Amino acid sequence: MTTNNPRIESQQEEFQNRANKSIPVALLLALFISPLAYHYIGKRGLAVLNLFTLNYLLLGIVVVPIHVFKLITDARSELNK
């Protein structure tokens, strides 16, 4: 589906890239090295924030795997609309 709006096209491309990522790989990265999980799915801003705030040592072990899973499944459902 092509549109004339470059913003929508870039958002679709971002969803497509995220939807193609492997959920098991993303979850393993999120459990052990959460900034890498965000980088893997293309959320570099969250990766940097997670790294500098040391969130991966605190609640990140619980929150990041859930968030990464939700981001990937949301991207897949958005593409299936």
pLDDT of res. 80: 86
Length of the chain, in residues: 81
- Each residue's pLDDT tens digit, 19-43: 999 999 999 999 988 899 999 999 9
- Each residue's pLDDT tens digit, 49-75: 888 888 767 777 888 999 999 999 999
Phi/psi for 16 (5° steps) reads -65, -45
Instruction: Band the pLDDT of 48: cuts 50, 70, 90.
Output: very high
Q: Please state the pTM of the whole predicted model.
A: 0.81
In this structure, the number of other CB atoms found within 10 A of the CB of residue 71 comes to: 21
In this structure, the number of other CB atoms found within 10 A of the CB of residue 52 comes to: 9
